Amino acid sequence: MDFLGWRVFPLLTLLASFLFIFYMRTSSKPSNSECSLLPHDRFWILSNNIVTPSGVISGAVEVRGGNIISVVEKENQQWKIKSNVVDYGDAVVMPGLIDVHAHIDEPGRTEWEGFSSGTKAAAAGGVTTLIDMPLNSCPSTVSEETLKLKVDAAEDKIYVDVGFWGGLVPDNAFNRTALEGLLKAGVLGLKSFMCPSGINDFPMTNASHIKEGLNVLAKYKRPLLVHAEVELDSESDFEASDGINDARSYSTYLKTRPPSWEEAAIRELLEVTKDTRTGGPSEGSHVHIVHLSDTRASLDMIKGAKNSGDSLSVETCPHYLAFSSEEIPDGDTRYKCSPPIRDSANRERLWDALMEGHIDMLSSDHSPTVPELKRFHEGDFLKAWGGISSLQYVLPVTWSYGRKYGITLNQLASWWSERPAKLAGQDFKGSIVSGNHADIVVWEPDTEFELDDNHTAYHKNPSISAYMGKRLSGKVLATFVRGNLVYKEGQHAPVACGVPIVAK
């Protein structure tokens, strides 16, 4: 380009930017009324408590065409002369939650959970994006073909945006073509189990499989999520017997999956994550440890690996922060999950690690099933299906149990929005800033409610949730997904207009 071109090009760019901003600020048309309970394409959300990356402000968020156009503080008067203003007073306006660990069991097991019921529950709980796990549906998402089944099944059923993890299993781990095909088809990353998953077409992986997976993921700069438990031979043949080892006692189940399983898996995994360091053979890949339960040696090893430069993150779940094993009633199999809920001292250390930043984020690990598989009548923890049903409740649960630890609104946004967005590669989600998708939850921190039969739950099988019967604080008033008001105090938009997220 000649000298004149270099002089003119910036002027043309500036002019184009001006015309774009002028259009965005002057053009307004009604939204698709079937997608939104608010009949405007451009509007302002007002609140005295807007959670932004720089802190909580009093002001307004301008939304246009599904995106956030501006965020202004109260001292800026421009929003006062505008129409289409929704004033939420003192309610909290926060980035919508991003749940990176949810099992939506469609296709194949819609009686457990489906895209319609699962995303309705998500919207009612302030979750605006969820990333679906590759197992518990049938078939599991381990190939281009099975991913297509997932995406097709979600068509016209999702009330929030939904992305998809693919599965790393022995059948594809050493097949670079197959793994690259799955990644090119659009999964946001891969997930593997270091112990039996309980699903026949999703077998466990070892360190060699994981190493191969990371080599492929490095090219695409996408994460590997790992269920980090390893069965130890000396502790895997536990059987319950009448009397001392009662299968109705949670302590019996707890003995079958001791902390040493997590410790052994993480120790083995961290031998592989060294490859993710700068200059390593898998530089560009990232390992994410899901649902950490143990806070003994496991947490110390994770801290050490991070300090050494491993590309590594870790999540825990609200049920590990809310409950302790001593409090679980005999036979109440709603609490069964893996890794298991541990004792109250462990719970306190989890809170410390989360508050201190050693645990990076939270996820629901929403893992529903049908009531009969929970074996309520038997109350047998060893035979019941494991998994906590929780998707609709994670915001009020985190807030209700975290208030005594002094959690802040910005911490909530970091754990549930900003960091999950980064893990899932969603650059335009996770925070209330100009240019991002208008994914927003509005909620009242001090409003209490009972999770009882009078509370409307949208999960396919709400009775199986361990949170039923609890009193919580933090009522969700409204949920916006890409500017569409998809949920408002017990009502969903007439049409499900969420977007399937497929990586490019």
Question: Radius of gyration of the chain from Cα atoms?
Answer: 23
pLDDT at 440: 98
Dist. CA 123–CA 126, nearest whole Å: 5
Whether 262 has a pLDDT exceeding 80, the answer reads yes
CA 134 to chain centroid: 14
**Residue ranges in 324-391 assigned as alpha helix (H):** 344-355
Tell me the average pLDDT across 312-329: 98
Instruction: Reduce the DSSP state of residue 98 to 3 states and report it.
Output: strand
Instruction: Reduce the DSSP state of residue 404 to 3 states and report it.
Output: helix
How do residues 6-57 score in pLDDT, each as one tens digit?
Answer: 333 334 444 444 333 333 333 333 345 799 999 999 999 999 999 999 999 9
pLDDT at 504: 87
Tokens representing 383? Answer: 């035979």
Q: Tokens 């009502």 correspond to what residue? A: 491
Tell me the average pLDDT across 314-320: 98
Whether 77 has a pLDDT exceeding 70, the answer reads no
Dist. CA 59–CA 77, nearest whole Å: 9
Listed in sequence order, the residues at least 6 apart from 420 whose beta carbon sits closer than 8 Å to its beta carbon are: 97, 98, 99, 100, 361, 363, 430
pLDDT higher at 22 or 239: 239
Instruction: Reduce the DSSP state of residue 471 to 3 states and report it.
Output: strand
Closest listed residue to residue 467, CA positions, set 389, 366, 374? 389
Tokens representing 16? Answer: 């184009």
- DSSP letter at 101? E
pLDDT at 33: 74
Dist. CA 219–CA 200, nearest whole Å: 29
Dist. CA 215–CA 5, nearest whole Å: 43
Dist. CA 270–CA 290, nearest whole Å: 14
**Which of 72-76, 292-296, 345-349 is the least confident region?**
72-76
pLDDT at 32: 56
Dist. CA 21–CA 471, nearest whole Å: 46
Whether 205 has a pLDDT exceeding 60, the answer reads yes
Whether 117 has a pLDDT exceeding 70, the answer reads yes
pLDDT at 78: 62
How do residues 403-445 score in pLDDT, each as one tens digit?
Answer: 999 999 999 999 999 999 999 999 999 999 999 999 999 999 9
pLDDT at 3: 29
Tokens representing 174? Answer: 């050493």
Dist. CA 42–CA 85, nearest whole Å: 9
pLDDT at 10: 39
Tokens representing 23? Answer: 């259009």
How do residues 132-159 score in pLDDT, each as one tens digit?
Answer: 999 999 999 999 999 999 999 999 999 9
Tell me the average pLDDT across 318-343: 98
Q: pLDDT tier at 242 (50, 70, 90 boundaries)?
A: very low
Tokens representing 411? Answer: 């911490």
Residues in the chain: 504
pLDDT higher at 435 or 75: 435
pTM: 0.92
β 161-164/500-501 pair status:
parallel
Whether 241 has a pLDDT exceeding 90, the answer reads no
pLDDT at 233: 74
pLDDT at 470: 97
As beta bridge partners, residue 102 has: 132, 366
Dist. CA 34–CA 36, nearest whole Å: 6
Which run of H or E residues covers position 170?
A: helix 170-173
342 near 320, Cβ under 8 Å? yes
Tokens representing 237? Answer: 């043949």
Mean pLDDT estimate for the chain: 91
pLDDT at 79: 55
Tokens representing 59? Answer: 């002001």
pLDDT at 81: 58
As beta bridge partners, residue 51 has: 56
Whether 466 has a pLDDT exceeding 60, the answer reads yes
As beta bridge partners, residue 59 has: 47, 73
226 near 290, Cβ under 8 Å? yes
Q: pLDDT tier at 82 (50, 70, 90 boundaries)?
A: low
Q: pLDDT tier at 289 (50, 70, 90 boundaries)?
A: very high
